[in-house]
Chain A
């Protein structure tokens, strides 16, 4: 069964019909072709699919697309305005090698943005807890933590 959904994604309004079974992550990826939102587990455990819903991070594999009617979504593609001008958190990840394969990175960056919104001067422990919902298998997190520390210092 299909239902109409009106929502704003990365400040652009969309009016689409979605299958009632469709998860938000699939709608973003398959319908809107915003493939920066990655799916790592489909069960809300890994955080690769993290997006912002009305300014708060959520795991988009665990939300039905039909349930975001009337709401506002920001994906990794909406975080920066152009390739040359990345968000400061993204710039910090680039500079401090807060990534390797890049698959968990969009979700990790969005969780870091949320963390710094909530707490502009987090301790190392607070950073580690702030990204505990995002699994990374490549980096051991150390350079991610350092990237977030660097981004915090720049603010």
Chain B
């Protein structure tokens, strides 16, 4: 049990270091064109957030209480609606004002 917990934090730490080092290296070295680097940054960020949720906050589908999973799913929907909707409106407005 104890060993399992230690392993969880160490695996999470190593994965987080790798997922941090890749985007920082790409920005420092300009190894890829900016548009591709942006895609790598976004993918690495999403993966790293999942790594933190799994290995540091210990979220999973067996031991985490249903209420907590429901709350995080609801928050994800809220964020999708509010952030996505606001960006949609503001970017649309921006392009119309620019004419």
A, B: real partners: no
